[in-house]
Amino acid sequence: MDKHEMQRAIAQRVAQEFCDGNVVNLGIGIPSLAADFVPEDTMIYFQSENGILGTGPSPAAGCEDKHIANAGGKAVTVLPYGAFFDSSDSFGIIRGGHVDITVLGALQVDEAGNLANWIIPGKLVPGMGGAMDLVCGAKKVIIAMEHTAKGKPKILRQCTLPLTAAGQVNMIITEKCVFEVTQDGLVLTEISNGYTAEDIRNTTEADYILSPLLNIREVG
């Protein structure tokens, strides 16, 4: 797979975690692609922290409305039932525990479910955004990311970058596999077709155990 195909494969797997009626917040990058893989017969209420509830799939090329964008500035569509509101109401939804699932990217995740995704010391960033609120306010936190960065593992024994939140991650989905975060640590539950258990071990620093129900995930 090339990078584009890999990112879409991750997003497609993320969408399988959504249930009819869920309120879901999608972070920028790979997480935002998940909206394109929701089955037509499934109603998901996508929430954007800049004040939209009811965003839909990405607009067709040339049909973007510059006035309608998500929190990352990416053009989005809004479904007929969609609603617009101010930032205080948006964060009331998030902090009030009304988001069922939030999907975020990560710089690092570790075996305790700690997340680092907002800053690399010494590099300028626009700010942490709503990530800290989302990971503490949502009922389920899914990390959707590429398995490595420049060949180096992103799933670590312990995060070395400043944390966004401690112990809040429930699931990690990469192009290679799926981990669930449990009280006993990371559990490898799926391996993507085309990869092996050895591939996962060689590119994952964290310790983990194999699920007795380990699945091979078809990709594509």
- For residue 101, what are its two tokens? 């699932």
Tokens encoding 180:
């669930």
CA pair distance 53, 24, nearest whole angstrom: 9
Mode of pairing for the β-strands spanning 115-116 and 152-153: unpaired
Residue of 200, 198, 195 whose CA lies nearest to 216: 195
- Tokens at residue 218, please? 């078809």
Q: Report CA-CA distances (Å) from 67 to 78, 113, 133, 213.
A: 11, 36, 25, 46
Active-site position among 17, 49, 111, 175: 49
- Outline where DSSP puts E strands in 96-159: 101-104, 108-110, 115-116, 140-144, 148-149, 152-153, 155-156
Q: Does the active-site annotation cover 49?
A: yes
Catalytic residues: 49
